[in-house]
Each structure stands twice: as structure tokens, then as C-alpha cells.
Structure 1
Amino acid sequence: MSDDGDERGFFSERPLAPDPVAKKTEKPHYLGHRDRLRTRFREAGPAALSDYELLELLLFRSIPRADTKGLAKALINRFGSFAEVLGAPEHLLREVKGIGDSVAVDLKAVAAAGARMARGAIAQRAVLGSWAQVIEYCRAAMAFEPREQFRILFLDKKNVLIADEVQQSGTVDHTPVYPREVMRRALELSATAIILVHNHPSGDPTPSRADIEMTKTIIETGRPLGVIVHDHIIVGKNGHASLKGMQKI
């Protein structure tokens, strides 16, 4: 066999070596998707993105070198909505494949930032004059909690927020409430009015008979002390209920 034949055979059988320059310049497929999603967010605003797409934007920072679309969809499928993902307990977030400690903490940090922003909307201003912001804050803070919480907004004589405190935490369907303790704390803070808030983890904010009766007891306890109960708000994933608005108190 001639040298030319050997040479031709050699070149025909040997695989081509990868081009190191091409390998370095080739970008993962998900980078283009990220760029397009960011552009749509900037140009069309958050309303143009679905829940899972908005969640993808958050996950880009936590997971910089992987496709996050599937993970975002898995989180929505597990918890139901963008808000419910952020409201989910950290240990349940970690049960979703692909969510480690750092990603779970990042998501909870975003949730905390949202609640802090909502609280800022009612701080240092007359609460009764910004009722929509009060409801928004209460929902951000409590609507997706897995257990019942009893919260009190303490107000001064101008109905400006003095303090916002969780008084009790309970089970999935019950929280103990002690009217004397509520009023003791109101007097300690020199509050002249309060707004009661608690959540229903079931999602349905409809007040129970026990909710109504306990509210009436707190109202009667505060009356001789000069502490007014403006309302009792119940929040859940499916909305909110105002006992005063429903004429239950």
C-alpha cells in the first residue's frame, strides 16, 4: 500500500479534534432564554410574565448555571401560585428536587422583603386612611402561613401604627387567644385602638362562630379601658374577611 494510501486511510479514520475556540464561545441554550425573559420583563413589565416565569427570574440569581424553567414549574405545581411558593415553609421548599438550602433561603428572603415593603406602606401614617395597604400587608405577612397566627396592630390616638405583634401561634385550625393579655399589651404600648388579624391556613377566610364570639369578648374587655377594636381581619389564600365589614361586630 502506498504512502498516499496510508495517509488517506489515517486521516479518514481519526476523529476530528474539537475546536477549542468554538467550545469556549458556545453558550448554553438556557442563556438565550434568560435574556429573552429579562427583556420581556423590562419592556412589558411583570404583568406580561406568568407565575412560573416570574419565579424563573428569581431563580436566575440563585442558580446561575442551569435551566430553571422546569424547577419553576415544579414549584408552582407543588404549591399552586407564585405567592404560595414564597409563602411556603422552608422545609417544604427543600422537598422539591433541585431546591437546596441556599435557594430556599433566597426565596424566603424575597418573601420577607415583600412583607417588609407592605409594612412600610402603613408605617407612620393613619392606618384607617390606608385600608387597602393594611389588607395587603396582612395577606403578605400571614395568608400563606401553614399554622394559625393571631396578630395585633396597635394604634395611637391618631390611628398611626405603634406596633405590629404576633401574639399567639397555634395549630392548622386553632389559635388560643387571651383577651386580658391583649389588653395588657395594649396598655403597655399606650395604644388607644387595635386591629385584630388572624389567618386561616385552609385558605377560606370565612369567620367561624368562635372567631366572632372571641372578637366580641375582646371588644367588651377593652371598652372600660378605653381601647377600641376597629376590626378583626381574617386572611387566607383565597382572600380576606372583615368582621366589621360583614357587620358581625
Structure 2
Amino acid sequence: MCDRTGQTLDTTLLLYMKDKTSTNNTQPGHIGHRKRLRQRYIKAGIGSLADYEALELLLTYTRSQRDVKPEAKKLIKTFGNLAEVLDSTIDQLLEIEGIGIQSAVLIKLVKDLSTKYLNEKQIYRKTINTPLDVVDYLRTKLGAYKKEAAMTLFLNSQNKIVAEEIISEGTVNYVYVHFRNIFEIALKYNSTAIIYVHNHPEGKIEPSDDDIRHTQHLVETAKTLTIEIHDHIIVNRYAYFSFKEKGLL
């Protein structure tokens, strides 16, 4: 009887140790999956990943011990597409179950770094001759705003941008701007020309009557300071309207 009990205990102990060793040597499925995602990205670039997979790979850097595919898919389902996810606010991201402050900040940081890259790589080094030279950047910068905002690009005598400023933020369909603020900044940077920009988050891209009167007043004020208004551009995420192209300047 003692022998049987000892044999039973030995057998149980062996089975326990075997099960424990097997558990330690087997990684959770999501660990292998994220490794394959990472390798695919390294070899073939971002185009090899679906939108949710790109977000999933990003989120692995804030959630190292859990599967983040559900959160990535939930982000795409909630906001509609990758661009909308990146354009969302931190507060909006935090409303998604499973998305904490670290993940929300990382997502926003990716968008802001991309914008800064466009700024330094494309905009500040080129001579600005037409609205097309800046419109993609402006749509990236202001197109996703949920409220109207006014921004000004300040140019030097070689038509190169020396600075940019968000002058004012308003409501979903109105923004009030003090011209004095614009020209104080222009004089600070010895700017000889300005491109004035604002967005239309809702409704049509064409200017309102107030937009047209506002622009005329801006041009008249600029003349007294020998500063040229190169253009007034209205943007949203998908389109733009140039006062210069339409003969309104």
C-alpha cells in the first residue's frame, strides 16, 4: 500500500512538472502574432498592414502583456478609418474601452510628429508660389479641427515660410480674429507677406459673405504696413478654396 501511494505521488509530481514546463515554454498566441506583424512591417512597410493591424502594432508598445487586436479593431469601427482615429482627440480616444492614457497619447503623438515632419521637410524649405504648394500641409494642419480656427503663414521676401501661428479658435461655424495679432507677429518676423487660412469643419468650402468682407479688410490693413496678402485659403479635410485662384484677391 505504501508502494502504491508513493508511486501515485511520484506519477502526480511528474505530470505536474511536465505540465508546468509545457506552460512555461508555450507563448500566448498574441505574442507570436505581434512578432509576425512586426516582421511584416520591417520587410514590406506600412502598406503590408491593414489599418487595424497598423494600430495594433502601435498599441503593442503600450500594452506588452495582452492582445490588443480587439482595441485596434474597435478604434477603426468607432471612428470609421485610420485618418479619423489619428484626428481624434485624447478625450475621444479615452472613451474607447481598453484605451488608456498611454495609448491615447501615443496615437496623438504619431499624428503630431507626422504633421511636424511635413512642416520641416516640405513647407519651410520651399518657395511658395501657388496654393498647391501649401494646401496639403494646411489640410493636414487644420482639416481635422472640429471647430473653426484661423491660422497665418508668414513669408519672407523670398516667399519662404518663416513662421506659422494659430491665431484664433472659435465655434463650429465662426471664428473671430483680431488683425492686430496677425500684424504684430508679421512685424516680429520681419515678414513681407502673409497667407491667411481658416477651416470650414462643417458645410460647404466656399466662403461666406463675412469671409469675403473679412478678407477685404485684411488686405486693406496690410497695405498700410506694406505687407502683402498672398492668399486667403479655406480648407477642410478633402478640399480647399483659394481666394487668389478665384480672383477674389
TM class, shorter-chain normalised? 0.7 to 0.9
CA separation of 1:115 and 1:203: change in aligned 2, threshold 3 A: farther
Q: Matched residues, percent identical?
A: 35
Deviation at 1:110, TM superposition (A): 1.3
Query: What SS does the corresponding residue of 2:112 show, helix, strand or coil?
Result: helix
CA separation of 1:87 and 1:133: change in aligned 2, threshold 3 A: farther
* RMSD (Å) for aligned C-alpha atoms: 2.8
Q: Indicate whether 1:185 and 2:181 are aligned.
A: no
Residues in 1 aligned to 2:60 and 2:196: alpha-carbon distance in whole angstroms: 38
Deviation at 1:176, TM superposition (A): 0.2
Residues in 2 aligned to 1:191 and 1:106: alpha-carbon distance in whole angstroms: 35
**Which letter maps to 2:246?**
M
Residues in 2 aligned to 1:247 and 1:90: alpha-carbon distance in whole angstroms: 40
Does the Cα contact within 8 Å between 1:205 and 1:240 map onto a contact in 2? yes
Query: What SS does the corresponding residue of 1:207 show, helix, strand or coil?
Result: coil
**Which letter maps to 1:71?**
E
> For structure 1, which segment, 222-231 or 34-43, has the greater mean C-alpha deviation from structure 2 after superposition?
34-43
Identify the residue that residue 22 of structure 1 maps to in structure 2.
Answer: 22
CA separation of 1:52 and 1:21: change in aligned 2, threshold 3 A: same
Query: What SS does the corresponding residue of 1:37 show, helix, strand or coil?
Result: helix
Query: What SS does the corresponding residue of 1:174 show, helix, strand or coil?
Result: coil
TM-score w.r.t. length of structure 1: 0.85
| Structure 1 residues 169-184: aligned runs within 5 Å | 169-184=169-184
Residues in 2 aligned to 1:24 and 1:237: alpha-carbon distance in whole angstroms: 50
> For structure 1, which segment, 205-214 or 190-199, has the greater mean C-alpha deviation from structure 2 after superposition?
205-214
1:5-61 deviation line (CA, Å, top 9, x unaligned): 989999999995262221111111112322232233233322232322222221121
1:141-176 deviation line (CA, Å, top 9, x unaligned): 222122221110101111121211111111122110
Identify the residue that residue 212 of structure 2 maps to in structure 1.
Answer: 212
Does the Cα contact within 8 Å between 2:140 and 2:237 map onto a contact in 1? no
Identify the residue that residue 241 of structure 1 maps to in structure 2.
Answer: 241
1:109-167 deviation line (CA, Å, top 9, x unaligned): 112211110110222442337x6562232222222122221110101111121211111
CA separation of 1:26 and 1:202: change in aligned 2, threshold 3 A: farther
Residues in 1 aligned to 2:208 and 2:230: alpha-carbon distance in whole angstroms: 19
| Structure 1 residues 225-240: aligned runs within 5 Å | 225-240=225-240
| Structure 1 residues 1-249: aligned runs within 5 Å | 16-17=15-16, 19-120=19-120, 121-128=122-129, 132=132, 134-202=134-202, 205-249=205-249
Which stretches of structure 1, 4 residues or more, deviate above 4 A after TM superposition?
2-16
**Which letter maps to 1:127?**
I
Count how many residue pairs are aligned between Structure 1 and Structure 2: 247
Residues in 1 aligned to 2:247 and 2:33: alpha-carbon distance in whole angstroms: 51
Residues in 2 aligned to 1:26 and 1:9: alpha-carbon distance in whole angstroms: 27
1:62-96 deviation line (CA, Å, top 9, x unaligned): 22222222211211222222222122111111111
Does the Cα contact within 8 Å between 1:143 and 1:236 map onto a contact in 2? yes
Query: What SS does the corresponding residue of 1:162 show, helix, strand or coil?
Result: strand
Structure 1 residue ranges without an equivalent (≥5): none
Residues in 2 aligned to 1:233 and 1:72: alpha-carbon distance in whole angstroms: 35
Structure 2 residue ranges without an equivalent (≥5): none
TM-score w.r.t. length of structure 2: 0.85
Residues in 2 aligned to 1:139 and 1:207: alpha-carbon distance in whole angstroms: 16
